[in-house]
Chains A and B, each alone.
Chain A
């Protein structure tokens, strides 16, 4: 996608026209946190509320029928985007809930087996069993597994990281072994940008009979993801990072697994039969969608999928890849900049974390903000990855389809200004002072 096409794409996002901090054009480099929304997505949500609003899967009236149809059509569109069928796609509040849903299937199955109920043994964890994650997980794909391990007595293990920001795959066969019951790995790191070899890891997980979960929050919005090719059993992602609304997340799971999983959140519309003593539950995906669902958001997300498909996810991916290469080329040679994550534009996505010698990330973020450049600073909910690389906070620039090389140039200029402002400009990498 050429620069002029990116600009055309950008025109469809009303928010990107606004100015910040006293009239400066907004340079939005925080799509890794959340993307902006195109007009068509906003219109789709509004149209749902204006014309079809009703609680789905309830009611005998025409609106209920239309709302249900809109919600289920949205499910089909979104499932199709990752090469899945609608019955395999569960809507949640966000990706964090999706991951918790899977972790709690293990916990609830384990509790049920302790009460003598028959459950699928693949979801039962006992002391001695192992859960495997990586050191680059977002807290959303770490803490649910920490909790699960603590509650069941299972052991949490993890892939370490190499100095150049990749997963250390050298002990794959030791790490994932006969004791492993579940492996949960981020597809593209939100902090490092690394794209992990999840297919290889899934293959090993399946060799030992473990289930494979993939946190795909940073991949589904940016690169083509086909669940069959990926080889995972579950993938979780959120709608708001892919030009869709906030308040909706997705969990794809293999049908035969979803079928044997106990529910996570219970209540209305996830049941089959209810008496005062006990209840039985609906088939997936409804079993995992208690309460009135977020129909307008589902409609908005389906519209976001259509919006992406119009340009083609391959074209978006190619554009972001080129932009990432352009940014890496500039940042790699800038004095006083250390990239935290892969410095090569290979198996990496459009999120670049870095620190600036002598200036804390928060202060860099402030100077960038003053220039209208919006980045994220901090540990990016990936504190263990920060610890691994000896930093408490990084600056992260993350791109989406609407970003251009001019945005990268603005970023670089703003970093230079920050270095000047804090009196560290011109320091060579070797001669830079330690800011801690």
Chain B
């Protein structure tokens, strides 16, 4: 059944009790991303360590949106918080590939289950083009927040 494949229990669990929800303080960068077609929005803050390979020391997200966008922000937190960027960013890449797996020639079998963790549950969402942006919203925000934080540290 299509609905169950989209709304897997693990997604609904993250939606009901999201991880990483809240305003992080102190933080290095804050970004605001919005999905203008539906009004979903996320404000995401990150804090990076000063290591050569910076650790994601903190990640906090607030916003409003559908279960998919809220759950995916929660899964993002689980997968990247506390990770060095050298490991966190490839996870973001894997997730992007997963989300475009139904509409591109990405082979899901080649994706790294370990990196994806609970994020693999979003495979069903990838079949609905209108919802891909919901799932990617906070992940794209995270990518930009990291770039902004790194730029501010080198200045």
- B67 within 8 A of partner (CB): yes
Q: Kindly state the separation between the CA atoms of A361 and B68 in the bound complex, as whole angstroms.
A: 12
A21 to chain B: which residues have CB within 8 Å? 2
A422 to chain B: which residues have CB within 8 Å? 12, 67
- Chain A: CB-nearest residue to B16: A423
Q: Kindly state the separation between the CA atoms of A377 and B131 in the bound complex, as whole angstroms.
A: 12
Of residues 369 through 384 on chain A, the ones whose CB sits less than 8 Å from some CB of chain B are 370, 377-379, 383
Distance of B68 from chain A, by nearest CB (Å): 7
A370 to chain B: which residues have CB within 8 Å? 2-3
- B7 within 8 A of partner (CB): yes
The stretch from B36-44, B49-57, B84-92, B112-120 touching chain A is B36-44
Q: Kindly state the separation between the CA atoms of A377 and B37 in the bound complex, as whole angstroms.
A: 9
Distance of B72 from chain A, by nearest CB (Å): 13
**Partner among A359, A366, A367, A392 whose Cβ is within 8 Å of the Cβ of B64:** A392
- B65 within 8 A of partner (CB): yes
B39 near A379 with CB under 8 A, answer yes
- B46 within 8 A of partner (CB): no
B68 near A392 with CB under 8 A, answer no
- A178 within 8 A of partner (CB): no
A363 near B66 with CB under 8 A, answer yes
**Partner among B39, B64, B66 whose Cβ is within 8 Å of the Cβ of A383:** B39
Q: Kindly state the separation between the CA atoms of A362 and B6 in the bound complex, as whole angstroms.
A: 13
A361 near B66 with CB under 8 A, answer yes
Interface size of B in residues (CB-CB distance below 8 Å): 19
- B99 within 8 A of partner (CB): no
B2 to chain A: which residues have CB within 8 Å? 21-22, 370
A383 to chain B: which residues have CB within 8 Å? 39
A379 near B38 with CB under 8 A, answer yes
A360 near B3 with CB under 8 A, answer no
Of residues 66 through 82 on chain A, the ones whose CB sits less than 8 Å from some CB of chain B are none
Q: Kindly state the separation between the CA atoms of A377 and B2 in the bound complex, as whole angstroms.
A: 19
- A436 within 8 A of partner (CB): yes
A378 near B39 with CB under 8 A, answer yes
Q: Kindly state the separation between the CA atoms of A284 and B139 in the bound complex, as whole angstroms.
A: 52
- Chain B: CB-nearest residue to A393: B39
- A421 within 8 A of partner (CB): yes
A378 near B38 with CB under 8 A, answer yes
Q: Kindly state the separation between the CA atoms of A359 and B67 in the bound complex, as whole angstroms.
A: 8
A367 to chain B: which residues have CB within 8 Å? 3
Interface size class of A (residues with CB under 8 A): 20 to 34
Of residues 339 through 377 on chain A, the ones whose CB sits less than 8 Å from some CB of chain B are 359-363, 366-367, 370, 377
B38 to chain A: which residues have CB within 8 Å? 361-362, 377-379, 393
B64 near A436 with CB under 8 A, answer yes
Q: Kindly state the separation between the CA atoms of A359 and B68 in the bound complex, as whole angstroms.
A: 11
A183 to chain B: which residues have CB within 8 Å? none
- Chain A: CB-nearest residue to B65: A360
Q: What 1/0 mask marks residues of chain B from 67 to 89 whose CB sits below 8 Å from any chain A CB? A: 11100000000000000000000
Question: Given A362-B38, A383-B39, is A421 in contact with B67 using a C-beta cutoff of 8 Å?
Answer: no
Distance of B30 from chain A, by nearest CB (Å): 20
Question: Given A370-B2, A392-B41, is A362 in contact with B68 using a C-beta cutoff of 8 Å?
Answer: yes
- Chain B: CB-nearest residue to A386: B39
Distance of B136 from chain A, by nearest CB (Å): 14
B64 to chain A: which residues have CB within 8 Å? 392, 436
Of residues 79 through 134 on chain B, the ones whose CB sits less than 8 Å from some CB of chain A are 128, 131, 134
Q: Kindly state the separation between the CA atoms of A314 and B38 in the bound complex, as whole angstroms.
A: 34
A392 near B39 with CB under 8 A, answer yes
B134 near A362 with CB under 8 A, answer yes
B66 near A378 with CB under 8 A, answer no
A392 to chain B: which residues have CB within 8 Å? 39-41, 64-65
Distance of B146 from chain A, by nearest CB (Å): 26
Q: Kindly state the separation between the CA atoms of A133 and B49 in the bound complex, as whole angstroms.
A: 50
B3 to chain A: which residues have CB within 8 Å? 366-367, 370, 421
B66 to chain A: which residues have CB within 8 Å? 360-363
Distance of A281 from chain B, by nearest CB (Å): 37
Q: Kindly state the separation between the CA atoms of A367 and B65 in the bound complex, as whole angstroms.
A: 16
Q: Kindly state the separation between the CA atoms of A180 and B95 in the bound complex, as whole angstroms.
A: 53
- Chain A: CB-nearest residue to B12: A422
A421 near B39 with CB under 8 A, answer no
Most chain A CB within 10 A, of B2, B40, B66, B128, is at B66
A366 near B128 with CB under 8 A, answer yes
A359 to chain B: which residues have CB within 8 Å? 67
A436 to chain B: which residues have CB within 8 Å? 64
B67 near A363 with CB under 8 A, answer yes
Distance of B33 from chain A, by nearest CB (Å): 14
A386 to chain B: which residues have CB within 8 Å? 39
Of residues 1 through 41 on chain A, the ones whose CB sits less than 8 Å from some CB of chain B are 21-22
Distance of B66 from chain A, by nearest CB (Å): 3
B37 to chain A: which residues have CB within 8 Å? 378
Q: What are 11 A-B contacts with C-beta separation under 8 Å?
A: A359-B67, A360-B65, A362-B69, A363-B67, A366-B6, A367-B3, A370-B3, A378-B38, A392-B41, A392-B65, A421-B7
- Known pairs A362-B68, A378-B39, A393-B40; list 12 more (Cβ under 8 Å): A360-B65, A360-B67, A362-B67, A362-B69, A366-B128, A370-B2, A370-B3, A392-B40, A393-B39, A421-B3, A422-B12, A422-B67
**Contact surface of A with B, Cβ cutoff 8 Å:** 21-22, 359-363, 366-367, 370, 377-379, 383, 386, 392-393, 421-422, 436
